[in-house]
Chain A
């Protein structure tokens, strides 16, 4: 052992040697050293997975801080959030970052999902990565849905009522699902406790497992290159993950941090009015933007289509859509064979357009309540 480390670099070298003497990390080191990222026209999309991960880490950290003060009961939830935002030092900052980052996370996750879709990165051998990713997508939507209720304000309360109503439309098991979600027949304090349990325990546990799998697969299999670039036959340039890609990742992450700070300072997240289950529903209930397209679609479907309830048709439609996306690696035969797959391309375009248009309509359409 040398003497006392005299600089940061020396300190790091000392720590490194200490660990190496005890744990053989050479395998991990090699993996990191040799990990490369393909460089081509579509490299920019590679950043979105990492960005989603970064935002998730922000959520975990801010979430943990918030749960030191938050109280998950109908009597105290709203007041505890008010307390955080008014009395706790920088509580306003932590809370607004948590709320904004949730939205940014879903946005980057959707970009990540569709960029993977359109570059067909789901094809063999990455089918499992895609499936685990779709599971994560569902998990994060549920993170958003459950978290939205926690401040127990008017808009959240009624949005949860509507949302769990829709879930209850699933044929056969719908009522059971709604009861399990709500912790009873209606949205009450029991729902709040339950959503809290989902939000801070069950979903994080599931995420750890599935995200772990997802990341492991990505490390093991490397980054997928879009088929047309593979087919072109040209040699594919690469850049080392460490430090080239990672530094670029950091640029994105730091920028996201700056954006979150600006949002928290200039557009702090609203507290709203405490939920009163006996008051009539206020005008303008709507879900968060990432559910808006479904909400708006249900508004446009007529009350009955033939003998079937309109809402049921809508829910089944979403189910079919979700199932399609989940199974796309197995359905897209052409891509599996190495051929161009225009059908799936256009289906993808259709889905994106549908989501964009319906979301927009949700905000601007008249009579929208």
Chain B
């Protein structure tokens, strides 16, 4: 029900001004609206929450009030008159009916464009393509609907850092169901995904490093069309950001081999939810390496794995050695910003080799590694020179102090002498 357009325009202006800061600040509730006045004033905790939460809601900011979703007559302060089915009152909507209710506006392009010309209007359609949507249609009462993820009566703007859908908060939002083993009983999906994800390097990037582009649930699974990516498409999902790595993998022999064996690319070695910060130990032939899960010692793959690991170790060692001595020199006060800059070339090479690992071919990796080792070697030498300069300075100091002491000795003796002379 598109109600009260006479409220809409001034409220829009008010809302626009209020939202200028981009956050849904607590707003003043309009006067003379019976829904709000009663639900706020009654004092019964069963009915007051919506009115208490509503000041934070973006709909209020845009001038959309209770009656616009729930129907009824807000000018009538008599409960029977206000909450009148004849006036379109629907009360608390059924679980099944929620997407359509929101969709009444949010799927109406003409209506939504008035508020934001670029806003999408296909969310409900997408939703019904998702597992959640399909199950809802099948009668599932526990499955997520709009309000499960966006909250209700306190729906915040997308850019609002407190919104349930703000990237940092998404895992909490999805986790409300998907991390609750009891709630998910009966569904045949894992419930440890939230815990696993929170251990991951993606979660760390999102929460500790503040990188909002780091993936959270919706980035890989979709928002409204939430579906776990199929075996074939996982690599595409990961490859959206890790494009270079995905390209390497697709050029490598592993692509066909994995497909043949029904192994999921990326996930097989790196997991899906608990993607940890990769370590060079992942590659190679020792027990922690993933290569030996498939390649037995007699195979060519085994040899290649060993060779690749050797190149990585050599480069990493060279970089660490150079970084260590440069740090020592810097700590001692020597100016080593130039060699540190040059070492970046080796660190870049290390980054590149680790991406190139996914070609699973020792030759290009060895080439990159050797280039990096050379650069690191030069930086190391400069570090050695810096430490030598430091020693030179210290030795120079002690000679200076020695000479000064000689002069001091002469002075002190002279002073004693003239004092004795009674000068």
A85 touches B335 (CB 8 A): yes
If the complex has contacts A251-B411, A265-B393, are A244 and B423 also in contact, measured as CB distance less than 8 A? Answer: yes
Query: Please, how many angstroms separate the alpha-carbon atoms of A248 and B404 in the complex?
Result: 14
Query: Please, how many angstroms separate the alpha-carbon atoms of A254 and B408 in the complex?
Result: 7
If the complex has contacts A92-B335, A248-B415, A266-B394, are A261 and B401 also in contact, measured as CB distance less than 8 A? Answer: yes
Which residues A224-265 have CB closer than 8 A to chain B? 240, 243-244, 247-248, 250-251, 254-255, 257-258, 261-262, 264-265
Query: Please, how many angstroms separate the alpha-carbon atoms of A86 and B338 in the complex?
Result: 10
Residues of A within 8 A of B418 (CB): 243-244, 247
A255 touches B401 (CB 8 A): no
A250 touches B411 (CB 8 A): yes
CB distance from B412 to the nearest CB of A (A): 7
Segment at the B interface, from A188-196, A267-275, A287-295: A267-275
B337 touches A82 (CB 8 A): yes
- What 0/1 readout, one digit per residue, does chain B (390-423) give for beta carbons within 8 Å of chain A? 0001101100110011011001101100110001
B400 touches A261 (CB 8 A): yes
CB distance from A366 to the nearest CB of B (A): 24
Report the interface size for chain B: residues with CB under 8 A from the other chain. Answer: 22
If the complex has contacts A248-B415, A258-B401, are A240 and B333 also in contact, measured as CB distance less than 8 A? Answer: no
CB distance from A268 to the nearest CB of B (A): 3
Query: Please, how many angstroms separate the alpha-carbon atoms of A149 and B18 in the complex?
Result: 43
Residues of A within 8 A of B400 (CB): 258, 261
If the complex has contacts A247-B411, A251-B412, A257-B404, are A265 and B396 also in contact, measured as CB distance less than 8 A? Answer: yes
A251 touches B401 (CB 8 A): no
CB distance from B386 to the nearest CB of A (A): 10
Query: Please, how many angstroms separate the alpha-carbon atoms of A92 and B394 in the complex?
Result: 13
Query: Please, how many angstroms separate the alpha-carbon atoms of A243 and B418 in the complex?
Result: 8
Residues of B within 8 A of A264 (CB): 393, 397
Residues of A within 8 A of B412 (CB): 251
A251 touches B415 (CB 8 A): yes
Residues of A within 8 A of B401 (CB): 258, 261-262
B415 touches A247 (CB 8 A): yes
Residues of A within 8 A of B335 (CB): 82, 85-86, 92, 271
A247 touches B414 (CB 8 A): yes
Residues of B within 8 A of A82 (CB): 335, 337
- What 0/1 readout, one digit per residue, does chain A (339-360) give for beta carbons within 8 Å of chain B? 0000000000000000000000
Binding site secondary structure of chain A: helix
Residues of A within 8 A of B397 (CB): 261-262, 264-266
A244 touches B419 (CB 8 A): yes
A254 touches B423 (CB 8 A): no
Query: Please, how many angstroms separate the alpha-carbon atoms of A255 and B408 in the complex?
Result: 8
Closest A residue, CB atoms, query B408:
A254
Query: Please, how many angstroms separate the alpha-carbon atoms of A250 and B418 in the complex?
Result: 15
Closest B residue, CB atoms, query A265:
B397
Residue with the highest number of chain A CB atoms closer than 10 Å, among B334, B400, B407? B400
Query: Please, how many angstroms separate the alpha-carbon atoms of A53 and B216 in the complex?
Result: 66
CB distance from A176 to the nearest CB of B (A): 36
CB distance from A112 to the nearest CB of B (A): 22
Closest B residue, CB atoms, query A240:
B423
Which residues B300-341 have CB closer than 8 A to chain A? 333-335, 337-338
Query: Please, how many angstroms separate the alpha-carbon atoms of A93 and B182 in the complex?
Result: 70
Query: Please, how many angstroms separate the alpha-carbon atoms of A251 and B335 in the complex?
Result: 33
Query: Please, how many angstroms separate the alpha-carbon atoms of A240 and B423 in the complex?
Result: 8
Closest A residue, CB atoms, query B415:
A247
Residues of B within 8 A of A240 (CB): 423
Closest A residue, CB atoms, query B412:
A251
Query: Please, how many angstroms separate the alpha-carbon atoms of A283 and B414 in the complex?
Result: 52
Which residues A66-105 have CB closer than 8 A to chain B? 82, 85-86, 92-93
A270 touches B333 (CB 8 A): yes
Residues of A within 8 A of B405 (CB): 258
Query: Please, how many angstroms separate the alpha-carbon atoms of A82 and B401 in the complex?
Result: 27
CB distance from B340 to the nearest CB of A (A): 12
B404 touches A254 (CB 8 A): yes
CB distance from B402 to the nearest CB of A (A): 10
B419 touches A254 (CB 8 A): no
Query: Please, how many angstroms separate the alpha-carbon atoms of A146 and B21 in the complex?
Result: 40
Closest A residue, CB atoms, query B389:
A92
A258 touches B393 (CB 8 A): no
CB distance from A98 to the nearest CB of B (A): 15
Residue with the highest number of chain B CB atoms closer than 10 Å, among A251, A255, A270? A251
CB distance from A75 to the nearest CB of B (A): 17
CB distance from A25 to the nearest CB of B (A): 22
Residues of B within 8 A of A244 (CB): 415, 418-419, 423
Closest A residue, CB atoms, query B407:
A254
Residues of B within 8 A of A262 (CB): 397, 401
Query: Please, how many angstroms separate the alpha-carbon atoms of A243 and B258 in the complex?
Result: 93
CB distance from B126 to the nearest CB of A (A): 40
Residues of A within 8 A of B393 (CB): 92-93, 264-265
Residue with the highest number of chain A CB atoms closer than 10 Å, among B333, B404, B407, B418? B333
CB distance from B164 to the nearest CB of A (A): 29
Query: Please, how many angstroms separate the alpha-carbon atoms of A61 and B26 in the complex?
Result: 65
Query: Please, how many angstroms separate the alpha-carbon atoms of A62 and B156 in the complex?
Result: 62
Residues of B within 8 A of A248 (CB): 415
CB distance from B11 to the nearest CB of A (A): 37
CB distance from B406 to the nearest CB of A (A): 10
CB distance from A41 to the nearest CB of B (A): 18
Residues of B within 8 A of A266 (CB): 333, 394, 397
B415 touches A258 (CB 8 A): no
If the complex has contacts A86-B335, A262-B401, are A254 and B411 also in contact, measured as CB distance less than 8 A? Answer: yes
Closest B residue, CB atoms, query A270:
B333
Query: Please, how many angstroms separate the alpha-carbon atoms of A197 and B418 in the complex?
Result: 46
Query: Please, how many angstroms separate the alpha-carbon atoms of A85 and B393 in the complex?
Result: 13
Residues of A within 8 A of B415 (CB): 244, 247-248, 251
Closest B residue, CB atoms, query A249:
B411
CB distance from A77 to the nearest CB of B (A): 16
Query: Please, how many angstroms separate the alpha-carbon atoms of A243 and B421 in the complex?
Result: 12
Residues of A within 8 A of B394 (CB): 265-266
Residues of A within 8 A of B408 (CB): 251, 254-255
- What 0/1 readout, one digit per residue, does chain B (272-283) give for beta carbons within 8 Å of chain A? 000000000000
Residues of A within 8 A of B396 (CB): 265
Query: Please, how many angstroms separate the alpha-carbon atoms of A257 and B405 in the complex?
Result: 11
Query: Please, how many angstroms separate the alpha-carbon atoms of A296 and B393 in the complex?
Result: 37
Of all A-B residue pairs in the complex, the 7 with the closest CB atoms, nearest first, are A268-B333, A265-B397, A86-B335, A258-B404, A265-B393, A247-B415, A261-B400
Contacts A244-B418, A268-B333, A271-B337 known; list 10 others, CB within 8 Å: A243-B414, A244-B419, A244-B423, A247-B415, A251-B411, A251-B412, A255-B408, A258-B401, A261-B400, A267-B333
**What are 23 A-B interface contacts by the 8 Å CB criterion?**
A93-B393, A240-B423, A243-B418, A244-B418, A244-B419, A247-B414, A248-B415, A250-B411, A251-B411, A251-B415, A254-B407, A255-B404, A255-B408, A261-B404, A262-B397, A262-B401, A264-B393, A265-B393, A265-B397, A266-B394, A268-B333, A268-B334, A271-B337
